[in-house]
Amino acid sequence: MNIVLIGFMGSGKSTIAKCLSALLGISYVEMDDLVYQITACRNMREVFAKGGELLLRETEIQIAKEYAAKKNLILSTGGGIVLNKIALDYFTEKGAKVIFLKAPFETIAQRLKNDDTRPLFKEIEEAKKAYNFRLPLYLGYADEIVDTACRSPGEIALNIQKRISNGL
């Protein structure tokens, strides 16, 4: 079974994927890193400069198609994967479990305040609008919702491990 971590930028997907991977002894995949490999870009700014958000979303579909067919992986997605139904459907159709890492916008804004790597988190009011728009999408796709505010990545990973051993 694959585990797909979803959540807004800065919700801790990558860090928690690493912790969970160590706990469960299975590999994790960082979807944004695969996007860089496929598009031959060094970072998200280059991806957006090369082909805009469309290039990111098309590449996500390509990755989802390939990786949904693999087994026992943790997939750390980009925060906008919920805008990409085709990509997420590849995973869910193959029985992947989707875990939403939930954090309040204020926590995220605090975490990302000095971050200049995310083209879609440049302007706080725009980011807040995107958060409010996406929240129901994250909730709609989630098999499990994990609150990440005020907990360490290790605690969150343990909590997810417990849910998995209880049959998720």
Strands (E), the chain: 3-6, 27-30, 73-76, 97-102, 144-147
Rank residues 43 and 159 by Cβ distance to ligand S3P and give the closer one. 43
Rank residues 122 and 167 by Cβ distance to ligand S3P and give the closer one. 122
DSSP state, residue 96: P
Q: Look at the block and give the residue holding tokens 């469309």.
A: 54
Rank residues 3 and 32 by Cβ distance to ligand S3P and give the closer one. 32
Tell me the sheet residues that pair with 98: 4
Least gap, CB of 26 to ligand S3P (angstroms): 20
Least gap, CB of 138 to ligand S3P (angstroms): 11
Rank residues 95 and 136 by Cβ distance to ligand S3P and give the closer one. 136
What token pair was written down for 145?
Answer: 């919702």
Least gap, CB of 114 to ligand S3P (angstroms): 14
Q: Please write down the long-range contacts of 139-142, taking CB distance under 8 Å and 24 or more positions apart.
A: 139/100, 141/6, 141/82, 141/88, 141/92, 141/98, 141/100, 142/6, 142/98, 142/99, 142/100
Rank residues 13 and 102 by Cβ distance to ligand S3P and give the closer one. 13
Question: Which positions touch ligand S3P (CB under 6 A)?
Answer: 9, 13, 32, 44, 78-80, 118-120
Least gap, CB of 149 to ligand S3P (angstroms): 16
Least gap, CB of 23 to ligand S3P (angstroms): 20
Residues found in the chain: 168
